[in-house]
Amino acid sequence: MQRIILALLLLSSPALAAQFECRVIGIADGDTLTCLTADRKQERIRLRGIDAPERKQPFGERSRQNLSDLAYGKTATIHWTKRDRWKRIIGAVWVEPADCPGCGHTLDAGRAQLASGMAWWYEHYAKEQPPEERHAYEFEQTEARARSVGLWRDPQPIPPWDWRRGKR
């Protein structure tokens, strides 16, 4: 009974966070993946704090491939506080870095997407991020932009939120 009450509290309170491990079994795009939990349930995960180019948008397929290289087939730890209107979990996805076997889940996939210039920091939702994560994500985007990596090679990259509204 205590577990059920705790689970309900975690799901209903944005101040409290939950976490679980799963195996990444699919990559939809540069900010959404599917994983399989220990009880064999599939969960769609939307990476908190980033917005990646749409698949038909410039850099969209490269962004999807980069997230796949980071996470596909790996065990991940998901830290989350809410679901969106499509029932996706909104959370941070942590995996073991490819260059550090045995290091554990020390790579934040969302932050890595920003560092490689494969996503935008989704500033509109920054308040939903823990302060340390928010500052790290803002920093990674600023650095990627300054280095002109990934989508920042384009002199006027179109943010996905504008692309979806048809501002191409």
Task: Give phi and psi for 26, each to the nearest 5.
Answer: -160, 150
Q: Is 54 considered catalytic here?
A: yes
Given 48, 88, 111, 133, which residue is catalytic? 88
| Annotation says 23 is catalytic | no
For residue 18, give the 3-state DSSP assignment: strand
Which residue do the tokens 């195996």 mark? 23
Active-site hit among 43, 54, 133, 140: 54
Taking residue 134's Cβ as centre, other Cβ atoms within 10 Å add up to 17
Sign of CA pseudo-dihedral 8, 10, 14, 15: positive
127: tokens are 């308040």
Is residue 46 annotated as a catalytic residue, yes or no? yes
Question: What does the buried/exposed string (b/e) look like for 1-15 if buried means 16 or more CB atoms within 10 Å of the residue's CB?
Answer: eeeeeeeeeeeeeee
Residues acting as catalytic residues: 46, 54, 88
